[in-house]
Structure formats: structure tokens, C-alpha cells
Amino acid sequence: MSWLDGLQVWQLALAIFSLRIVDVSMGTLRTICVVQGRTLVSVCLGFCEVLVWITVMNQVIHKASGSPLLLMAYAGGFATGNAVGIALERWLALGAVMVRVVSTHHGEELADMFRDRTARVFSFDGRDSHDPMTLIYVVMRRREVKPLIALARRIDPDLFYSVESLRESSALVGSPLSQPAGLRKQVESGMTGRTVVDQVL
């Protein structure tokens, strides 16, 4: 690229460092999207990633022998790009997860709290080696994990939880369905079509 050819060595090193961060970050996100089955996003990220990588490699191959600084910039950008990619992925919080919560004394309260805020909650009674307990499975978006676990800890500070990535499920993960109201509520409660029309009129 002509704009890179005219840069001084320190400027070129900074450009290589920055571009390497960009392409490695995209590579990290692409790998995660591949694992989650996001085909279109993976294709777009892969195209951009390779385009940036070729641009950087062209400069490194032709000029690195005369300046070790470019090699250091290349390696530093690669290392930093991994950290940036992971941070971006955590910030975006793509995908859904299965959260398992175990509570000894507040199982019903926790289950009700989760049901008020998420669409898929399953609770079971069980025992550990000494006491009865409640096991709760909650399917939610990754971005919802931290705030919901914080709420759960207010109810039971001693709860145990684990989080597992959910690649595929038989139903969409989303917010709880709103309660039927108005005409929809009357229809779903078993009223006849004529009665509903009469009340509307």
C-alpha cells in the first residue's frame, strides 16, 4: 500500500503494530463465531482479517531485514491482539448460555426471580451428601449472566453456580413472553368469538 511505503521506520512500526492488533482481534472473534455456528459473521471477519494480514506481511517481508523494530512491532501486535480480541468478545457477550444454580435454602425464591426475568427456567429438588437442595437450570443470553447472578447473590450469598456455553437449543432464547391482555387475553381465556365482538362493540 502506497501510504505505508512513504512512512518512516517508527511510523511504519506503529502502523504494523496497530494493524496486527486489528487482524488478530478479528481472528479471535472469527474463531468464537465459528464455534457458535455464526456462518455469515465468520465469513466477513475472515475476509477482513486476511486482507489486513496480507497488507502487514507485505511490509514486514520487504523491510524487516533492515529494521528489527518492525519485527518487534509485528510480534507485539500479535500478542496484544489476542488480549484485545478476548476483551471485545467478552464485551459483546455473543450467544446464549446455560446457568446451573444450586441453593440449599432459597431455591424457590431464586427460581421465581429467574422466571420473572428470563424465558427458560427449570428447577428440581435434590440432595447433596447432607442437606436437601434445589437445582435450577436457566437458559439466558450471555450479557444477562452478570446482572442476574448479582441479583441471585442478594437472595442467597452462599449459592453455587456454573455457566456453560449453549451452541444449539430447541427454542429461541429471549425475554419472557408478555402476559396476554385485552382482546388477546379474552380469546385465550376461552371466550367465544361472538362474545368478544359484542364486548368490543
Structural domain includes residue 197: no
Per-residue pLDDT tens over the stretch 138-154: 988 888 888 999 999 99
Q: Which three cell numbers stand for residue 106?
A: 432459597
Write out the residue range of the structural domain in which residue 55 sits.
2-92
Structural domain includes residue 193: no
Residues 80, 12 within the same domain? yes
Burial class of residue 98 (count of CB atoms within 10 Å of its CB; 0-12, 13-18, 19+): middle
**Which of residues 92, 117, 141 is at a domain's end?**
92
Q: CA 146: distance to chain centroid? A: 12
Among 30-34, 148-152, 154-158, 174-178, the minimum mean pLDDT is found in 174-178
**Which of residues 32, 67, 92 is at a domain's end?**
92
Per-residue pLDDT tens over the stretch 89-105: 888 887 788 899 999 88
